[in-house]
Amino acid sequence: MSTVPVTAPSWWSMTADRTVVELKEFLRSREQMIFIFFFPMIFLGLFGAIFNTDDLYGTGVSFGQYFVAGMIASGMLNTGFQSLAISISIDRSEDVLKRIHATPLPPTAYFVGKILQVLVVSVVQVALLLAMGALLFDVALPTNVSTWVTFTWVFVLGLATSVAWGIATSSLLRNGKAASAVLTPIVLVLQFTSGVFFVFTELPTWLQRFAEVFPLKWLAQGMRSVFLPEQFEAAEASGSWQLPMVAIMLAVWLIAGLLISAKTFRWLRVEDR
């Protein structure tokens, strides 16, 4: 009796399957859907309407337009950093990571599946925020290739930095259930000091210096360079979009996040080691 040889699944097929699992888990989680999609849209509508100023610093830019760029950057941080750190931490607490690690699934397939899920969700989130911004605040999409190139590298570098720190932070959280309580204040502080909820130049100088240490300030500034007109550049704190510094700061934080992730990531709970 002949036997049919069994072909082991390829890395690509396992990664694709894992990505599908991650997307299904996200879509089935009402809490994540509300946090990732609806909260930013609610904040955009409320803050844009309440604090809307038609002409910031004589540039013709409304606060609603300014806020859209900040919410895009903040949404990327929420998805790649906070949401990912919480989900991995919960997976570890519930022994999901332990079971996955015991299967033939390569660790890289697991991480790529997480990253692709974050990428898909972030693209949808950006599209929704831009559509809402165009409808409510007359946000115009870029019309030249160079601006879209800027958007692409800021988006990719910013999201990669957020993901790296989401993975790194997940190992520093001892309890998955308490992860949200630990991370939410951190994200809120960064949002309020990085030019998301308020115009950056209206913050006290010491808060500006504080925010310049962290990546969200640079990510938001990079997004403003894409979606705000050129005349607003002079209204920035330095009188410039500082795109080279945006790239440097995001790259530094990305490398640091990758190094810490590689050094600290663990599949088991602390008490199981």
Among 52, 115, 35, smallest CA distance to 80 is for 115
Instruction: Evaluate if residue 4 carries a pLDDT over 60.
Output: no
Q: What is the pLDDT of residue 171?
A: 84
Note the pLDDT tens digit of each residue in 107-143. Answer: 889 999 999 999 999 999 999 999 999 988 888 888 8
Q: Is the pTM of this model over 0.95?
A: no
3-class secondary-structure state, position 233: helix
Per-residue pLDDT, averaged over 195-210, amounts to: 92
Q: What is the pLDDT of residue 253?
A: 97
Give the pLDDT of residue 141. Answer: 87
Tens of pLDDT, residue by residue over 41-88, are 888 888 777 777 777 888 888 888 899 999 999 999 999 999 999 889
The whole-number average pLDDT for the span 227-251 is 93
pLDDT of residue 6: 57
Q: How far apart are the first and last CA of the chain?
A: 47
Q: Whole-angstrom Cα distance, residue 172 to residue 161?
A: 17
The rounded distance, in Å, linking the Cα atoms of 261 and 164 is: 7
Query: If you average pLDDT over every residue of the chain, what do you get?
Result: 88
Q: Given this model, what pLDDT does residue 248 score?
A: 97
pLDDT of res. 151: 96
Q: For residue 19, what are the contacts with CB-CB under 8 A and spacing of at least 6?
A: 112, 113, 116, 117
| pLDDT over 80 at 11, yes or no | yes
Residue 22 above 80 pLDDT?
yes
- pLDDT grade for 272, boundaries at 50, 70 and 90: low
**Phi, psi angles (nearest 5°) of residue 144:** -120, 155
What DSSP assignment string belongs to 37-64? IIHHHHHHHHHHHHS--S-GGGSS--HH
Predicted pLDDT of residue 115: 93
How far apart are the C-alpha atoms of 122 and 32, rounded to whole Å? 13
Taken in order 239, 60, 212, 162, is the CA torsion positive or negative? negative
Q: Which residue has the higher pLDDT, 45 or 5?
A: 45
Span 25-37, pLDDT tens digits: 888 888 778 878 8
pLDDT at 101: 85
The angle formed by the CA atoms of residues 269, 79 and 66, to the nearest 5 degrees, is 150
Confidence of residue 3 (pLDDT cuts 50, 70, 90): low
Q: What integer is the mean pLDDT of 190-215?
A: 93
